[in-house]
Amino acid sequence: MAEQSNISQAKKTAVLFSVQTPGVSDQENASSLIELRRLVKTMGLQVVATLTQRRPKPDTATILGAGKLKELAGYTGGTGIVEGFRRKAEDNASDDPDDDSPAPRLDESGGARSSDGPGVRADFVIYDGEITTKQLQNLEQATGVEVLDRTGVILEIFSRHAKSREALIQVEIAKLTYLAPRLRASRMGADRQGGSIGSKGAGETAHELDKRRIRDRISELKARLVEIHAEQDRRRGRRRENFQVALVGYTNAGKSSLMRQLTGSDVLVEDKLFATLDTRVKALQPETFPPVLVSDTVGFIKKLPHDLVASFQSTLDEALAASLLLFTVDASDPDFRSQLAVTQAVLKDIGGEKIPGWLLLNKIDKLTSAELEALQHEFPDAILICAHNPEHIATLRNKILQLFEANTIQTTMLIPYDKGHLLGQLRTKASIMNESYGETGTEVTFKTFPETLAWLQRMLV
């Protein structure tokens, strides 16, 4: 599997930057940067500064204009100059009046920095967007440090948190697909990229040989994934007779905490983005009739790389097999509305918009009474819960059971002693309310579905 980056070897620092284009509001840009900051923190880096520049569009060579590029390089000790693009950068600077405008600087706690200068050196530069091969090469030349984009950060986190064989394969496929066009461009990340494809070290294998190895490795991994998915399809087929509930939502919304409380399972609960990458399917506890299975799926995020979405199709398939989707959001997050929209959009893309769903506003213990009242008014059909409140969990569990019990029938039938074997089968297909023994057989009061009742009537004829 792909080796982890040298990022994880020590506590290092990073400077974030973004380009705000027309049509993107200040609030949207700030929200995206806050999310990137959380991603970078999850990756183990300390953010020392954040830079933003308004431009009609990102520069095709360096993303930023000349003035802002030099300011960025001031945090890394780089020159801020890209050979061969000096004239173009100067032209951009003269054409763009905002090129050298003040940009917000944030310290590691998220507050504004008071000093005019950098103060500390950043080990990494991270862009809130996608970086092309040319831009990567030029930015690393200008800053003198390794440059990552948003996709690279997400992939790094995924590679650390993947545990199951399937998740490890899925992450490696996405990571190799991402790294392939960047092998030659990035000088700073050469060791990490070389290690990812099993080479002996940076510069020891030719570029074309690296590309061929990547293609061969991806083909090998995809073949393994086909086998895993075939087994998963068989498992899903065996579960079709049961009702299934899928927890879906943004990363770190509290899905794993709900999973643990509803099923009594030992799923990982951690205050980190993408703490859960492996789908878990467990029975609702205590055991119920009808039996209900609960699945915890991988969390979503804005600008999730398409390759990664495709790689985790099996996780999304678990949601498509559900009888009910529980859209779980962190109600204490001011940006939860847009996060919910991201979740709904991804599910719509894979054909899950027709599956019944409930909205769960989680973490209400962090809200004031006024905020709770406003949410109830805005979302009258939502279920407001705290995943750590036993009463809330019990209420949610009862609502789920009531939904699935709506189609059940309660009746009483006599099963003759000479067909006593049917009673054993019935116990696995119904909820037995009462049994009494008479002269000719066992009188059973039970609750079950119409299909089971029809089966029993046929067997008793």
Rg (CA), the chain: 28
Residue 185 has a pLDDT of: 56
My answer on whether 428 and 401 are in the same domain is no
My answer on whether 394 and 290 are in the same domain is yes
> What share of residues in the chain are helix, strand, coil (percent, to 5)?
45, 20, 35
Is residue 173 one of the residues assigned to a domain? Answer: no
My answer on whether 210 and 76 are in the same domain is no
CB 343 within 8 Å of CB 327: yes
Q: β-strand 243-249 against 357-362: which pairing, if any?
A: unpaired
Give, in order, the Cα–Cα distances in Å from 370 to each of 196, 251, 332, 367, 382: 51, 26, 13, 8, 17
My answer on whether 245 and 391 are in the same domain is yes
My answer on whether 220 and 351 are in the same domain is no
User: What's the CA gap between 83 and 63, in Å, rounded?
Assistant: 15
Domain that includes residue 210, residue range: 178-232
Domain boundary, last residue among 232, 248, 267: 232
Give the Cβ contact number of residue 26 at 10 Å: 11
Is residue 168 one of the residues assigned to a domain? Answer: no
pTM over 0.75: no
Output phi, psi for 89, to 5 deg.
-65, -40
Q: Which residues contact 182 (CB under 8 A, 6 or more apart)?
A: 133, 136, 189, 193
Is residue 267 one of the residues assigned to a domain? Answer: yes
3-class secondary structure, 333: coil
Is residue 19 one of the residues assigned to a domain? Answer: yes
CA-based nearest residue to 359, from 392, 326, 395: 326
My answer on whether 296 and 413 are in the same domain is no
Residue showing tokens 């993303």: 63
My answer on whether 220 and 260 are in the same domain is no
Residue 48 has a pLDDT of: 93
My answer on whether 183 and 156 are in the same domain is no
Residue 3 has a pLDDT of: 39
Q: Provide the number of structural domains found in the chain.
A: 4
CATH code of the domain in which 310 resides: 3.40.50.300
Residue 1 has a pLDDT of: 39
Residue 313 has a pLDDT of: 64
Residue 161 has a pLDDT of: 76
Strand partners, 359: 327
Which helix or strand (DSSP H or E) is residue 227 part of?
helix 207-239
Is residue 167 one of the residues assigned to a domain? Answer: no
Task: Count helices and strands (H / E) in the chain.
Answer: 16, 13
My answer on whether 115 and 140 are in the same domain is yes
3-class secondary structure, 271: coil
Domain boundary, last residue among 132, 161, 190: 161
My answer on whether 251 and 354 are in the same domain is yes
Is residue 326 one of the residues assigned to a domain? Answer: yes
CA-based nearest residue to 266, from 251, 274, 256: 256
Residue 5 has a pLDDT of: 47
User: What's the CA gap between 285 and 263, in Å, rounded?
Assistant: 5
Which helix or strand (DSSP H or E) is residue 152 part of?
helix 150-161
> pLDDT per position in the chain (461 positions), as tens?
333 444 444 578 999 999 999 988 888 888 889 889 989 998 889 999 999 999 999 999 999 999 999 999 999 999 988 876 654 444 444 344 444 444 444 443 333 333 334 567 899 999 999 999 899 999 999 999 999 999 899 888 888 877 778 778 888 888 888 888 777 655 554 444 444 433 334 444 556 777 788 889 989 988 888 888 777 777 666 656 678 899 988 888 888 889 889 988 765 555 555 655 567 788 888 887 788 889 887 777 777 766 666 656 666 777 788 889 999 999 999 889 988 988 888 888 777 888 899 999 999 999 999 999 999 999 999 999 999 999 999 999 999 988 988 888 899 999 999 888 899 888 888 888 899 998 899 999 998 888 888 999 899 87
Is residue 135 one of the residues assigned to a domain? Answer: yes
My answer on whether 218 and 245 are in the same domain is no
Domain boundary, last residue among 214, 232, 250: 232
Q: What's the CA dihedral at 179, 180, 184, 189 to 10 degrees?
A: 20
My answer on whether 148 and 188 are in the same domain is no
Strands (E), 286-393: 292-296, 324-330, 357-362, 383-384
Residue 317 has a pLDDT of: 73
Q: What angle, 0 to 180 degrees and rounded to 10, lies between the N-to-C axes of helices 165-179 and 150-161?
A: 150
Is residue 170 one of the residues assigned to a domain? Answer: no
